[in-house]
Structures are given as structure tokens and as C-alpha cells.
Structure 1
Amino acid sequence: METPHHHDPKLVRTLILDELFDQSLYRALREISPDKDAQKVLDELVQVEIQHLAFWQKFFDSTLDTLDLGRRVKLRVIVLACRLFGTTAVHLILEAIEVYGVRKYLSLWKSYQGQPLGDALKGILMDEFKHEDTLVTQLTERKINAEKIRNIFLGLNDGLVEILGAVSGFFGAFGDAVMVLIAASTTAVAGSLSMAAGAFLALNSEKEVKTTESLKRQFLGEEAHSADMEEQPFGSAVVVGASYFAGAMIPVLPVLFGATNAVISVLTAGLVIIVVSTVLAFLSGMNVRRRIVMNLVIITAAVIITYAIGIAAKTLWGISV
């Protein structure tokens, strides 16, 4: 490229630092991964990220080559998680990084089509698509179900938000910790059973539909696709129900240990929702900050609305303990 291109400094910084972060992460994971195949993939990714970084530095005529504090902290946290949880975590991290990269570059390509930056993004996107396919294949071969892991965190999120709202409403209506504990615990159990049953019925119905379609194709002499499903109805129901109940217990435990109002439950739930939102956003390739803000807004609205309903019920219908 003969001449540098000038764009928003924030965009330039993001593109260069993201490539530098990915390169640094892949190098770090290469050092701690015991899986030979994963090491090979990581070696390939490091080389590609070196090319991408050099490309953007030349494209924007930039000498930026040092990670900022936020990315350095993020890098250490991810590497620590991979040390703790091993190969499964490494594969999930790789998949999440590639998904985020594809979404980011597609969004930029859409905005800059017909411009030099849009043309430059085409080559980067081709690399990203190839890497994603490679990583998905690696995950499939190892039977790592990323969707199931996401479902665990979604279950935690649902249980936490729903029962936090219930705790707030019950405190507004009853004002008595014992009654709140009984009512919230009962609601948590009922909710987890309902979620488990819903997951079981949904997957069981999907399995029946696939089986019917497979038999239909066999009858017509067509090529029949396997009706086997990676997610089994009963196992998935247990996972969904258990994760929902675990999330539901987060706002209930402060009451169990002596809280006399909803404040501690709200603060505890807020801290946990930040962690859960971060994990969910990262695994899904979403903007982490946007996901955290969205969930915090949701739980704030849930607390305010349910507490107001509890107060109204107590005032209008004379609920008392």
C-alpha cells in the first residue's frame, strides 16, 4: 500500500490493538496448552495475526505496538481461566475470539463498503472465516458443546433475574425475612422445575420431528439424515434446571443468612450479573459493556417494578404477616 489512510483515531487504535491482543493471547495459550493439535492451530493463528497487525500498521501508518492497560488485564484473566479449566477453556476462548472478530469486521465492512478500508477488510474477513471453520471443526472432533456451556450461563442469568425480582416483590409485600425466604425458595424450585421441563419437552419434540423427517426420507428412497442430536433431552433438562436454580439461589442466600431487606440481595445479584454478563458476551462475541449495561438495566427495572407491586399489594389488599 503506497499511501497511509486516515480514519477516526479511536477506530485505528481499536483495529491495531485488537490484532495485537489476539496475537499476544494466541502466544500465551500456545505456551500453556498441552494439546498438540491446539498448539498447531495456535501457531498458525499467531502467524496470521502477525500479518494482520503489520497490515493495519502500514495501512494507517501507525507505530502502535503496545497493549493498553485494559487489554493487558483482560489477557491475564483469560490466560488464568485457561490454566484453571484446561483444554476446554482454550477451545472456547478461541471460538469466542474468532466469533467476535468476524462480527466486528463484518460490521465495519458494511459501513465502509466501496472505500479503501472496506476493500482492506475483505482479506481480513476471508482469514477470519477460514479460522472460524477450522476451530469449529476442532471443537466438533473433541465433542465440546459450546452451546451447552452458554446454556448454563443463560440459565444462571434467568434464575438470578427472576428470583431477584421475586425477592424484591416479597419484601415489599411481606416485609418479613422468613416469609420472603419461604416464598422465594418455593418460587426458585418451581421455576427450575418449569425450566427443566420446558427444555426437556422442547428438545424431545425436536428429536421426534427429526426422527419423523428421517423416516419420511427413508420411505421416499431419499438420503436420510441422522436423527441423532448432540443435546439429549433429559441431560439438557438437568443442566438447564440446575443452572437456573443456582442462579436463583444468589439473591436468596443473603436472606437465608440474615438479611432483613432486599438491598444485599440486589448488590450481590448485581455483582454476579456483571460476571455472568461478561462470560455470556465473550462466548457469544457480543460487546461486553453493552451486555453488562443491558442486564443491569433489566435487574434494576425488575427490582423497582416488583417492589412497587409488592407495596401496592400490601396497601390495596392488606397483605401482612
Structure 2
Amino acid sequence: MTYTEEQHQLMLNYQQTEITAYHLYTYLAKKEKNPANKKIITRIANDELKHAEIWKKYTKETVDPKKLSILWFKFLYLIFGFTFTIRLSEKNEDSGIVMYEKLADVIPDISKIIEEEERHEEELINLLDEERLQYVGSMVLGLNDALVEITGTIAGLTFAMANNRLVAMSAIVTGIAATLSMAASNYLAEKADGHHNPFKSSLFTGATYLIAVILLVLPYLLLPPDMYIAAFVTMLVIVIALIAFFNYYIAIAKEQSFKKPFLQMLIISFSVMIISYIIGILAKKWLGVDVG
């Protein structure tokens, strides 16, 4: 059968996508410690290789994998873990399935490929049991409390003190104390609820809280003392980025909505900041505080 140049190029692209997926899943299989997960991912990798060979029958060419794509997914795996990487990869597979159907009339094996791709997704979803996702609640608690408490504190201090170093010092002391308090409270709460590992849960809460504190205070440490407006604006950008980043991770890893929780966390954080800002200005005026 003769194919148009466009169809031939499409098949080459799909062939490259499949061989790239083969190398990616092979890498993930080597990294996965759970024997059952490793076995399933290895089988999926082999299926991807078979898909690449099917396309090769029609293209009559050999293609190399997308090395940058593989490096990107390896990076995602190291940073975000197994579940996030797999979910994101599957989203790419889903878009590929839609594209495959455009060649259904000229490629007899296309239905087999689509069927296997759909089975891949189901198998992957069933094996996603990453430990860190068992502590999402603890991470949400740590991040949400840090964003609400520390951003509120910094907002109030920024315009009351008008000095980046003083704001940073106060926020660091408050943040460290709050981190220890949050971790301890989470440990006691999880232990009382009979959680199998309350210590690890408290670590996730404390670590998330502390990371948020460091990122929020950073502008006040890096910018000159008198540039408190610039530091405050930079902190606002970091707050939005943190909320977006965390909710995107959860949305992909747990297949949940992104928009609603993102807006909820954003509204709560900024509402507290506005209230704290007003309190800071009023406190400075009523108490006659002048740190200049």
C-alpha cells in the first residue's frame, strides 16, 4: 500500500514515540523496587517495543528515541517520583491513541495497538502505590498552614517594619517554631488515630512546612533591606507558584481536579495576607512603632 508523505511522517513520529516509551519504561522498571510493579512495567516496555516494530514494518526505517524526552521524564521521576511520572506519561499515551485512529483505515494493526495502550493505562493505574502519596494529607497540611500562617505573618511584618532583614529574622524564628509545632502536633494526632507510621507522617508535614518557609523568606534575604516592596511582591509570586506547583502535582499523581483546589488555597492564603497587612499597618500606627 502506498502512503502519502504526511501519513509516512505520522507513522515515523508514532514509531519514535513507541521506542521512546520503551526506553522510558525500561528505565522505570530498573528503578522500581516492588517486584510486582517491576514485572508489569517490564511487560509494558516490551509491548511498547513491539508497537515500534509494527510501525517499522510500514515505515521501513529505524528511528532513535527522543533522548531529551527520556531525560525529562528521568528528571521528573527523580523529583516527583514514580506515580507522577507514570501518570504524565499516560496522558501523552492518551493523546497518541487519538492520533492513531487517524490511520485506522490504512493500518490494519492499529486496533491492536489501541487495545494494548488502553490495557497499559489500566495496569499502570492499578500498580500506582507510591509511599509518598500515602502522606499527601500531611503534605497538604504542612503547605497550607505555612502559606496561611507565614505569608500572613510576613505581610503584616513587611509594612509594619519596612525592613527586609527584620522581616526575615522574625519570619525565620516564627517559621522554625511553627515547623516544630506542626510536626509534633501531626505526630500526636496521627498516633492517636492509629496511623501505622505517625513519625514519617510528621516528617512530611514538617518538611513541607519548612521548605515553604525557606522559599517565602528568601526574597527578604536576597534583596537589600530597604526594598521591602519588591521582596513582598516576589513573595506573592512564590506563593502563587507554590500553590500551582503543589496542586498540579496532586492533580496528575492522583488524577484530581487542578482548578478548584488551586483557587481555594489561593483565596485562603491571599485573604489571610490582606487581613494581616491591615493588622500590621494598624498596629504600627496605634503602637507608634518606628523601626526606621
Q: TM-score, normalised by structure 1?
A: 0.55
Structure 1 counterpart of 2:193: 206
Residue 173 (structure 2) pairs with residue 183 (structure 1)? no
Tell me: CA distance 1:24–1:161, structure 2 relative to 1, closer, same or farther (3 Å): farther
Distance of 1:244 and 1:155 partners within structure 2: 5
Tell me: CA distance 1:135–1:35, structure 2 relative to 1, closer, same or farther (3 Å): same
Structure 2 counterpart of 1:314: 284
1:169 positional shift: 0.9
Residue 85 (structure 2) pairs with residue 90 (structure 1)? no
Q: Which runs of 5+ in 1 are unaligned?
A: 1-21, 49-72, 99-124, 208-228
2:290 partner SS: coil
- Partner amino acid, structure 2, of 1:237: S
Q: Is the 8 A contact 1:157 1:247 kept in 2?
A: no
Distance of 2:159 and 2:235 partners within structure 1: 14
Mapping of residues 102-181 of structure 1, within 5 Å: 132-136=125-129, 139=130, 144-148=131-135, 151-152=138-139, 154-181=141-168
Distance of 1:157 and 1:77 partners within structure 2: 29
Q: Is the 8 A contact 2:179 2:206 kept in 1?
A: yes
Structure 2 counterpart of 1:29: 24
Structure 2 counterpart of 1:273: 243
Deviation sequence 1:88-135 (CA, Å, 0-9, x none): 82245447889xxxxxxxxxxxxxxxxxxxxxxxxxx99977764444
Q: Is the 8 A contact 2:84 2:252 kept in 1?
A: no
1:195 positional shift: 0.5
Distance of 1:295 and 1:23 partners within structure 2: 38
Distance of 1:160 and 1:74 partners within structure 2: 33
Tell me: CA distance 1:189–1:80, structure 2 relative to 1, closer, same or farther (3 Å): closer
1:253 positional shift: 1.9
1:320 positional shift: 3.2
1:189 positional shift: 1.8
Distance of 2:270 and 2:18 partners within structure 1: 38
Deviation sequence 1:48-100 (CA, Å, 0-9, x none): 9xxxxxxxxxxxxxxxxxxxxxxxx9998545312x35xx82245447889xx
Distance of 1:134 and 1:91 partners within structure 2: 9
1:179 positional shift: 3.1
Distance of 2:203 and 2:193 partners within structure 1: 17
2:256 partner SS: coil
Distance of 2:238 and 2:154 partners within structure 1: 13
Distance of 2:178 and 2:207 partners within structure 1: 10
Q: Is the 8 A contact 1:160 1:250 kept in 2?
A: no
Tell me: CA distance 1:23–1:235, structure 2 relative to 1, closer, same or farther (3 Å): same
Distance of 1:234 and 1:180 partners within structure 2: 32
- Partner amino acid, structure 2, of 1:247: A
Residue 12 (structure 2) pairs with residue 42 (structure 1)? no
Mapping of residues 258-269 of structure 1, within 5 Å: 258=224, 260-261=227-228, 262-269=232-239
2:81 partner SS: helix
Q: Is the 8 A contact 2:142 2:205 kept in 1?
A: yes
2:162 partner SS: coil
Structure 2 counterpart of 1:303: 273
Tell me: CA distance 1:39–1:237, structure 2 relative to 1, closer, same or farther (3 Å): closer
2:145 partner SS: helix
Q: Which runs of 5+ in 2 are unaligned?
A: 1-16, 49-67, 91-117
Q: TM-score, normalised by structure 2?
A: 0.59
Distance of 1:269 and 1:27 partners within structure 2: 38
- Partner amino acid, structure 2, of 1:271: A
* Number of matched pairs: 232
